[in-house]
A and B are shown apart, each in its own frame.
Chain A
Amino acid sequence: MLAVENLEVVYNDVVLVLRGISLEVPDGKIVALLGTNGAGKTTTLRAITGLLDMHEGDVTKGEITFDGADITEEDPAARVRRGISQVMEGRRVFAEMTVDDNLRAGAYSNRDANLVKEARERVMTLFPKLADRRNATAGYLSGGEQQMLAIGRALMQVPKLLILDEPSLGLAPLLVQEVRDIIVEINSQGTAVLLIEQNANMALSIADYGYIMETGKMVMDGDPGKLLKDEDVKEFYLGLHTTGEQKSFRDVKHYKRRKRWLS
């Protein structure tokens, strides 16, 4: 189980981006992490996987544990070896390398040749299209295929926890469905999933639990049924608002706060 507790992250020693967030991803579950652009979702992912250092970011408070072990300060490779795998925002395939070599790169931490073989077969079954294009240069794949490759690559180390950062971003609705079904399939094979999304509809339709964050804070969490029923969530994340242009929670809070100051 992944547990993030009271996590605070600062960029460049000054910009406080995460202000004490907590979340849990139990074994075998799908957990959705929702939030608008700039809420701090990707920063949360970087903190969990150890990539903050490349962005001049630091964990200044809080703790991240995986299966009980404190991994807050571990290097990214160690976390991968523990079984945490990620699909980064924007797919980030190795465009100059073949599909097969991308998968081999994903298997870097998997030193067991038999496990690698099994993992490759699993990926090829999940994504028959990749099997057809094994020797194609990844940069020439379509956007959807690249997303499949990014997910396949992340599966090559046989993770216990798969974290996906906005996998539906920029994909046509039909492909979003496909990605959704794949995530369900991966989860049903026993991998826990932390699904970071702006597309709340898609994420909540398959999640066991959901968190919503805004400007570096968790503002709501609960099971999808509860979140889907919530009027604010409906309005701000599901596009079911009745009043013209979309607003954000931030606006509401500011509005309320201002009103409080005024009164």
Chain B
Amino acid sequence: MITGLVVLAQATADGNAFAQMLVGGISFGAIYALLAMGFVIIFKATSVINFAHGALTGLGAFLVVAFATVLDFPGRFLTSFPEWAQWTANVLTAFAVAALFGVLIERVFLRPMVGEALFAVAIVTLGIDIVVRTITNDFIGTQPRPVGAPWGLNVIDLGWVIIAWSEVIQIVVTVVLLVAIAMFLRTRTGVAMRATAFDQETARAQGVNVGRVFSVAWAIGAFLAAVAGLFYSVFPRRATGVDQATAFIAFRAFPAVIIGGLDSIPGAVVGGFAVGIAESAANTYLGFEFLGNGFPGIVGYLLMMVVLLIRPYGLFGTPEIRRV
């Protein structure tokens, strides 16, 4: 709120800086929104608090590197297509493989835990996080690995604001994904997922295959994490590429989940953009350089604490989260 006031005061003084701040905040917020949404979908559908979301992000980003630059698959067989189309095909393949890994992780490590205490399952995801992150980091190595994005460092200069092409693409992709997920939730499988999220036993009584719902939820969560991992690893975020710290971005998205209310998908989206904009505003206006480079990372948590003081269940959360 205080941040908001400062933002407004400064904005009237300096329109350009405000617009620039918003562009940065919205595009970074999109990354948080994708991560938060995946986290919430997994939590709602399967009742698992997934502390391995960071590992999924790092893994997804690394898969993009692997498919886009190392393997060049399936791009190497698409020689009649332009470079950017080959790259896109590679990245989409990486996303699909990331989704498969999500399904696999749930099936192997978490399915046997169905019915155990929420807490015990959360601890298992912590273990998964460490294992997956360690293995992924071995593959990444010590040097950052660029993803070879075709848009490179190109920007659009509108005079009053500068937007990177990557930001444009990222915002468009995020909006498309939000719409796609909203539409998915209205399909037969989506209805089954919402039913399962609300009451597993009753969903099973309707003939819903709850195991399949779990698989779909993890596929979506891991897919969204991979998309977020890609966009976090390009200019103007971390243009050097994917490295061993990429996975930690998920922790900066965690406040977005709580702000949104833990069990609300629209809440996750709003929370994601709120945290992105708050961080961007703090960078632009508050100039906390003396607090060190880590400061943007805590803005989300500060915002989270303020929101929780006013609304203990987040902006869109259910006061009492049901246990199934």
- Contacts from A to B (Cβ < 8 Å): 49-51, 54, 76-77, 80-81, 86, 88, 92, 94-97, 101, 104-106, 108-109, 153, 157
| Distance A136 CA – B199 CA, assembled complex (angstroms) | 19
Which of B123-131, B204-212, B288-296 participates in binding chain A? Answer: B204-212
- Does A109 lie within 8 Å of B199, measured CB to CB? no
- Does A94 lie within 8 Å of B202, measured CB to CB? yes
- Say which residue of A54, A80, A81, A105 sits within 8 Å of B191 (CB atoms): A105
- Does A94 lie within 8 Å of B195, measured CB to CB? yes
Query: What is the 8 Å Cβ interface bit string for chain B, positions 162-205, against chain A (1 contact, 0 not)?
Result: 00000000000000000000000000100110110011111111
Q: Which residues of B lie under 8 Å from residue A96 when comparing CB positions?
A: 194, 198
- Does B198 lie within 8 Å of A109, measured CB to CB? no
By beta carbon, the residue of chain A nearest B197 is A96
- Does B191 lie within 8 Å of A104, measured CB to CB? yes
- Does A108 lie within 8 Å of B204, measured CB to CB? no
| Distance A96 CA – B191 CA, assembled complex (angstroms) | 11
Q: Which residues of A lie under 8 Å from residue B191 when comparing CB positions?
A: 97, 101, 104-105, 108
- Say which residue of B188, B192, B201, B207 sits within 8 Å of A54 (CB atoms): B201
- Does A54 lie within 8 Å of B194, measured CB to CB? no
Q: Which residues of B lie under 8 Å from residue A77 when comparing CB positions?
A: 204, 207-209
- Does B194 lie within 8 Å of A108, measured CB to CB? no
Q: How far is the CB of A137 from chain B (nearest CB, A)?
A: 12
Can you list 29 A-B pairs, Cβ within 8 angstroms, ordered by A? Answer: A49-B205, A51-B201, A51-B205, A54-B115, A76-B204, A76-B207, A77-B207, A77-B208, A80-B207, A92-B199, A92-B201, A92-B202, A92-B205, A94-B194, A94-B198, A95-B198, A96-B194, A97-B198, A104-B188, A104-B191, A105-B194, A105-B206, A108-B191, A108-B192, A108-B207, A109-B206, A153-B206, A157-B206, A157-B207
Extra 12 A-B pairs, beta carbons < 8 Å, given A51-B204, A97-B195, A109-B207: A54-B204, A77-B207, A80-B206, A88-B202, A94-B195, A96-B194, A97-B194, A104-B191, A105-B206, A106-B206, A153-B206, A157-B206
| Distance A104 CA – B190 CA, assembled complex (angstroms) | 10
- Does A108 lie within 8 Å of B208, measured CB to CB? yes
How many A-B pairs fall under 8 Å by CB? 64
Interface size class for chain B? 10 to 19
Q: How far is the CB of A166 from chain B (nearest CB, A)?
A: 15
Q: How far is the CB of A149 from chain B (nearest CB, A)?
A: 12
Q: In the complex where A92-B199, A94-B199 touch, is A101 in contact with B204 (Cβ < 8 A)?
A: no
| Distance A54 CA – B192 CA, assembled complex (angstroms) | 18
Q: Which residues of A lie under 8 Å from residue B203 when comparing CB positions?
A: 105
Q: Which residues of B lie under 8 Å from residue A50 when comparing CB positions?
A: 204
Q: How far is the CB of B323 from chain A (nearest CB, A)?
A: 13
| Distance A96 CA – B322 CA, assembled complex (angstroms) | 12
| Distance A198 CA – B192 CA, assembled complex (angstroms) | 32
| Distance A97 CA – B206 CA, assembled complex (angstroms) | 15
- Does B206 lie within 8 Å of A54, measured CB to CB? no
By beta carbon, the residue of chain B nearest A105 is B195
Q: Which residues of B lie under 8 Å from residue A106 when comparing CB positions?
A: 206
Q: Which residues of A lie under 8 Å from residue B192 when comparing CB positions?
A: 105, 108
- Does B206 lie within 8 Å of A108, measured CB to CB? yes
- Does B208 lie within 8 Å of A105, measured CB to CB? yes
| Distance A104 CA – B203 CA, assembled complex (angstroms) | 11
| Distance A153 CA – B205 CA, assembled complex (angstroms) | 11
Q: Which residues of A lie under 8 Å from residue B194 when comparing CB positions?
A: 94, 96-97, 101, 105
| Distance A54 CA – B115 CA, assembled complex (angstroms) | 8
Q: Which residues of B lie under 8 Å from residue A95 when comparing CB positions?
A: 198
| Distance A133 CA – B208 CA, assembled complex (angstroms) | 25
Q: Which residues of B lie under 8 Å from residue A49 when comparing CB positions?
A: 205
Q: How far is the CB of B111 from chain A (nearest CB, A)?
A: 14
Most chain A CB inside 10 Å of its own CB: which residue of B192, B204, B209: B204
Q: How far is the CB of A49 from chain B (nearest CB, A)?
A: 6
By beta carbon, the residue of chain A nearest B204 is A76
Q: How far is the CB of B208 from chain A (nearest CB, A)?
A: 5
| Distance A92 CA – B9 CA, assembled complex (angstroms) | 51
Q: How far is the CB of B249 from chain A (nearest CB, A)?
A: 31
- Does A86 lie within 8 Å of B208, measured CB to CB? no
| Distance A94 CA – B191 CA, assembled complex (angstroms) | 10
By beta carbon, the residue of chain A nearest B186 is A101
| Distance A97 CA – B202 CA, assembled complex (angstroms) | 13
By beta carbon, the residue of chain A nearest B203 is A105
| Distance A120 CA – B235 CA, assembled complex (angstroms) | 52
Q: How far is the CB of A217 from chain B (nearest CB, A)?
A: 26
